[in-house]
Structure 1
Amino acid sequence: MRRLPTRPLAALATAGLLAVAIAGCGTESGAPRGTAVPGDTARTIRAQKVMQLTRTHEETGMTLLEGPVFHPDGGLFVVDVTAPPGKPKVMRVDVRRKTVRAVHTDGRGAYTSAQFSPHDGRLYLTDYAHGEVVSLAPDGGDPRTFFAGEVDGARMNPDDIAFDEEGHLYVSDSRGLSEGAAHGRVVRIDRDGGKATVLADDLAATNGISFDEAYGGLWISELTENRISYLRLGEGGEVASRHIAIRVDGGIAQTDSIAVDADGNLYQGLHGRPAVVVYDRYGEHLVTVEVPARAAGLDSATNVAITPDGTRAYMTVSGPGGGYLYAFDALGKGTRQSNGG
């Protein structure tokens, strides 16, 4: 999740927390869906439009889709960060029938990610504006505050979530974004919500977060430095080592959320360009997934979810033209870490 235009707090709690001028990058049409385009030195995949989910909200001046995640029954859940009170903040999409229905709304939350817990099966959402993690039943009912308050003396701006195999949460805390300061953190929260621990700090607006394919470490994106770092974890879940792994040449675009497929490839969403860049675990740029943005008025591709045990991938794409799902064929099969936090 990234900076949004300033609006009154009553209209949208996150407004003014994030602000980036975004510009779309158009692509040529006519290529087969989800296939590499011959002759492109950087190898390009053209994504196909699936359906429109939202329009620009009059109350907030925009729409911003995030957090695509598959439920075990095949439903794809998506959040709209900028949805005002009364409008759907969590939606469920049937990608085969191309239908969407509202799952949850409220008068307060600004949700930037969604993940299903392997521990209790509930849907967990990060409320960036209020520094909280909340959870819902899969049908959108029974809302609960899972975690709120300060961590090591500072309130979080939680952006994305990754669950380990036992159901403990690893949260990208984007503190310092509005000031442009490197106060970002990675925070681990026990699955019962009783203990929160800072695993890494002094990060540049921590955004995307995902385990690698073997759960041996965390890939994290730092939005204001356009880089991806790797945190190798010890046996107790602590950070054993940390290094900058990939520098993303984004231009005016910035590194957003991250998904990882079964082969260990990273799908890095971009805010400010309707594209996803894909790297292998060694940092080699494999492909770029492009959206024909200028015709559709789209300028960000924030996140990716890959069908579990399949290769069909779905991107959340947004801009003045509305909020859409686009699809392409991923390089590897989907797993839990392929649902971008």
Structure 2
Amino acid sequence: MRRLPFRPLAGLVTIGLLTLTGCGTETAGPAADVGAAAGADRTIRAQEVMRLTTVHEQTGMTLLEGPVFDEDGKLLVVDVTAPAGEAKVLRVDVGKKTARKVYTDDRGAYTSAQFSPYDGRVYLTDFSHGDIVSLAPDGGDPRTFFSGEVDGARMNPDDLAFDREGNLYVSDSRGMSEGEAKGRVVRIDREGKKATVLADGLASPNGISFDADYRGLWFSELTQNRISYLLLDGKGGVASRHTAIRVDGGIAQTDSIAVDADGNLYQALHGRPAMAVYDRHGERLATVEVPARAAEGLQSATNVAITPRGTRAYMTVSGPAGGYLYTFEAPAKGVRQSNGG
């Protein structure tokens, strides 16, 4: 499989574009079955819904991320590598199979999206510039929610999760460009005033999600192919941390994470258009795959949104063939932890 070419992206910080591996921008050929070593129980075949984007001439790429349902049942999706003027946030009507631009700017490289339970706005992580940006639900009224250094270092925020009170928890992929384990998990209070490092020394942390009971956080490290668990103390701090799951991915790597109502984890794979599904005890339940005839032009599955209180799931998949939305039947119902981030 050919590599998708990189081209300069005007207006973006160079390091931001070149090190977006953590959200799946470095490409690779198809990997061996990631479930083989773990004894995957079954394969779930995802079906194409629609193509949302084609490769942008200016950036030489397209990369869909952060699917999240709004209150009207429309799906918001971000395109990480969209240049200025083209859709950086799209709203998709999955029933009518239509999509339209709701936001663009001349600066951001947005790698995730999620609605806040505190103010109802949609929050985006700008990987290249270290900012958290919020929008009104219709895509208007852009605001910088958080910017600047955390403990003396600017973030490369990749994914985010909210607790019930609206505080943010961010996977900071700092150090990725140097190949050093400088990544962090950062908590930002819901006012955007106080940022606290909950875990550091991480190898390109990417996916992050609360468990079904909001007791702790699951997070993945892209360059270690592992999922760890942070047990929180209920006071804004950490009670314990341990490696929970080691993903046997071959050349595929751990991208974003979602969690359903039963506590199952959906681990997206960078380098293969597939997701691995585990239960909360680390047992491999299934592998979600696109049809073999489509896999050649699709190189990464980045994230998934499961219909709130339903089991219909929508997975963002990208590669030289473009940016696509695929659907499958999830093993359990969708909740906030499986809707954006």
Q: TM-score range by the shorter chain?
A: over 0.9
Identity %: 75
**8 A Cα contact 1:5 1:15, kept in partner:** no
Task: Look up the match of 1:72.
Answer: 71
Superposed displacement of residue 22, structure 1: 1.6
Superposed displacement of residue 292, structure 1: 2.2
Task: Look up the match of 1:224.
Answer: 223
Task: Look up the match of 2:317.
Answer: 317
Unaligned runs of 5+ in 1: 28-39
Task: Look up the match of 2:303.
Answer: 303
Task: Look up the match of 2:19.
Answer: 17
1:148-167 superposed Cα distances (whole Å, 9 cap, x missing partner): 00000000000001000000
Superposed displacement of residue 18, structure 1: 3.2
The 5 A counterparts of 1:182-331 are 182-292=181-291, 294-295=293-294, 297-331=297-331
Tell me, in whole angstroms, the C-alpha distance in 2 between the residues paired with 1:205 and 1:90. 24
**8 A Cα contact 1:5 1:16, kept in partner:** no
**8 A Cα contact 1:298 1:317, kept in partner:** yes
1:218-246 superposed Cα distances (whole Å, 9 cap, x missing partner): 00000000000000000202110000000
1:153-193 superposed Cα distances (whole Å, 9 cap, x missing partner): 00000000100000000000001111111111000001010
Task: Look up the match of 1:59.
Answer: 58
**RMSD of equivalent CA atoms:** 1.7
Task: Look up the match of 1:31.
Answer: none
Task: Look up the match of 2:93.
Answer: 94
Tell me, in whole angstroms, the C-alpha distance in 2 between the residues paired with 1:244 and 1:95. 37
Over 3 Å counting, the alpha-carbon distance change for 1:158 and 1:280 in structure 2 is same
Amino acid of the structure 2 residue aligned with 1:21: T
Amino acid of the structure 2 residue aligned with 1:130: H
Q: Secondary structure at the match of 2:17?
A: coil
Superposed displacement of residue 5, structure 1: 6.2
Amino acid of the structure 2 residue aligned with 1:205: S
Amino acid of the structure 1 residue aligned with 2:145: F
Superposed displacement of residue 73, structure 1: 1.6
Tell me, in whole angstroms, the C-alpha distance in 2 between the residues paired with 1:156 and 1:134. 13
Residues paired across the two proteins, number:
326
Amino acid of the structure 1 residue aligned with 2:29: A
Q: Secondary structure at the match of 1:15?
A: helix
Q: Secondary structure at the match of 1:337?
A: helix
Over 3 Å counting, the alpha-carbon distance change for 1:21 and 1:60 in structure 2 is same
When normalised by structure 1's length, the TM-score is: 0.92
Amino acid of the structure 1 residue aligned with 2:256: S
Amino acid of the structure 1 residue aligned with 2:64: L
Unaligned runs of 5+ in 2: 34-38
Superposed displacement of residue 295, structure 1: 3.4
1:179-211 superposed Cα distances (whole Å, 9 cap, x missing partner): 111111000001010111101101110100000
Over 3 Å counting, the alpha-carbon distance change for 1:282 and 1:96 in structure 2 is same
**8 A Cα contact 2:11 2:106, kept in partner:** no
Tell me, in whole angstroms, the C-alpha distance in 2 between the residues paired with 1:59 and 1:8. 7
Superposed displacement of residue 109, structure 1: 0.4
**8 A Cα contact 2:69 2:340, kept in partner:** no
1:71-101 superposed Cα distances (whole Å, 9 cap, x missing partner): 1221110000000001000000111111111
**8 A Cα contact 1:25 1:299, kept in partner:** no
1:30-72 superposed Cα distances (whole Å, 9 cap, x missing partner): xxxxxxxxxx964101000001100000111110000001112
